[in-house]
Amino acid sequence: MSQFDLLATRRFLPLFIAQFLGALNDNIFRFALVIFITFTLAERSPLPAGMLVVASGGIFILPFFLFSACAGQLADKFEKARLIRLIKFAEIAIMALGAIGFWLQHAGFLLGVLFLMGTHSAFFGPLKYGILPQHLLEDELTGGNALIQMATYIAILLGAMIGGFVASLHGHGALPIVVCVTAVASVGWLAALRIPDAPSPVPDLAIDWRLGHATWRLLRAAADRATLVLTLLISWFWFEGATFLSMVPTFGKETLGGNEQAVTLLNAAFTVGIGLGSLACESLSRRRIEIGLSPWAALGLSVFALDLYLQPTVAAVPGGLTLANFFATPAAVRVFVDLVGIGACGALYIVPLNAALQAGAAVERRSRVIAALNVMNALFMVGSALFTLALFALGLTIPQVFALVAALNVVAVVGALSALPALRGRAVAVWRRAPSA
């Protein structure tokens, strides 16, 4: 059975559609809001547009710190499919509030709606990954996670493009944004209605509603060595991904001289790589949960990142780098290939780790382990932004940041191999069978 056969099953397809549309809507709303703030609300707000845009990123991530502990507990206590339906219905209500915010053209109100969207995602995450092991067999988990990973990055790219497009339509006000996000949320809810039930593993679980205390307990409970190493490795991926995605647009513009379309193509290269790596993951893992792929994929990621640093100075392209001359420009092609390679290696790195964490977590606390992972992912993404700002303040160039991330990636892999003998053993096994694979 191929991983694509899962898309023909009720136990996977409705969840796949619901999570894809949720991620898509997050990004449509976020990027539409960025365009709306930059070009429409800038003159009406006492705060600079740039500050509002930066604040929007932090506001979206904040709920993952505040509510992941409660989300994980609820996902373990109650039947998951019903919770997903409630959360997806709440998304429609949140988008209705977004419609009011765009109609009022009120930045503060819209940022409040963005906070609610982040809250929606924080509660959906433990359910999405917690329900997969209940509906999929162990030899389907890698393929299922690969499809989810691929869809998430496609949703990020499409969301950015659609959000920017609907926000830039002139003469219609906020109507295109409102219609788009409300329609996507409604279809996502309809898909969620088809998700099969997933009974609660611990219906008598007592919920700790104290946000700070519950979060601390959540992190402590996920601190056994194997879980901690897997969590840190997964969160490191999000650190790297956030770093690359934040710098590629500026790199494409300043280093390659690319216009908006050329930079969009570079962003697409990363997503194409994620898709290719996700598709290859099931066959390379031989339909098993194979964490031994991850160290080799991480090293491959470092090689491609280092090649970005080694790019020679690019001669100016007459008229600038555009879609028309992109693939006729050797330097641009080299960057495109590097970004595809980074994306592919990233998928081969993250998918087995996600599957291993889901399969290895105790059934009665699986969703709380995923919630702890979400907290760590959010911390690492915030850390990525601070890390990048600090390096820029020290005068490092973007290619130098790429090189530093490549080096730190090798350090992270070596540390993980030292800390987790099982990972080291599986990596050796993958190396030994590589010639005959």
| pLDDT per residue rounded down to tens, the chain (437 residues) | 567 788 889 989 999 999 999 999 988 888 787 777 766 665 565 555 556 665 777 788 888 888 888 888 888 888 999 999 999 999 999 999 988 888 887 878 888 998 999 999 999 988 888 888 888 888 888 888 888 888 888 888 888 788 877 877 766 667 888 889 899 999 999 999 999 988 888 788 777 777 666 666 666 666 666 778 888 899 998 898 888 877 887 788 777 887 777 877 887 888 889 888 888 887 788 778 888 889 999 999 999 999 988 876 555 566 678 888 888 888 889 999 999 999 999 999 998 888 888 887 777 777 778 888 888 888 888 888 888 888 888 888 888 999 999 999 999 999 888 888 888 888 888 887 765 44
- HEC secondary structure over the chain: CCHHHHHHCCCCHHHHHHHHHHHHHHHHHHHHHHHHHHHHHCCCCCCCHHHHHHHHHHHHHHHHHHHHHHHHHHHHHCCHHHHHHHHHHHHHHHHHHHHHHHHHCCHHHHHHHHHHHHHHHHHHHHHHHHHHHHHCCHHHHHHHHHHHHHHHHHHHHHHHHHHHHHHHCCCCCCHHHHHHHHHHHHHHHHHHCCCCCCCCCCCCCCCCCCHHHHHHHHHHHCCCHHHHHHHHHHHHHHHHHHHHHHHHHHHHHHCCCECHHHHHHHHHHHHHHHHHHHHHHHHHCCCCCCCCHHHHHHHHHHHHHHHHHCCCCCCCCCCCECCCCHHHCHHHHHHHHHHHHHHHHHHHHHHHHHHHHHHHCCHHHHHHHHHHHHHHHHHHHHHHHHHHHHHHHCCCCHHHHHHHHHHHHHHHHHHHHHHCHHHHHHHHHHHHHHHHC
CATH number of 1-191: 1.20.1250.20
pLDDT of res. 437: 41
Phi then psi for residue 195, to 5 deg, are -70, 125
pLDDT of res. 302: 95
pLDDT of res. 44: 60
- Sequence-distant (6+) residues with CB within 8 A of 122 are 63, 64, 66, 67, 68, 71, 374
pLDDT of res. 429: 84
Exposed/middle/buried for residue 315 (C-beta within 10 Å: 0-12, 13-18, 19+): exposed
Domain with CATH 1.20.1250.20 in the chain: 1-191, 223-437
pLDDT of res. 15: 92
Cα dihedral 389, 393, 397, 399 in deg (nearest 10): -30
Q: Alpha carbon 70 to chain centroid distance?
A: 21
Q: Taking Cα atoms as reference points, which of 106, 110, 87 lies closest to residue 97?
A: 110
Please give the structure tokens belonging to residue 193. Answer: 């209605």
pLDDT of res. 318: 67
What CATH architecture applies to the domain 223-437? Answer: Up-down Bundle (1.20)
pLDDT of res. 421: 86
Phi then psi for residue 321, to 5 deg, are -80, 125
pLDDT of res. 337: 94
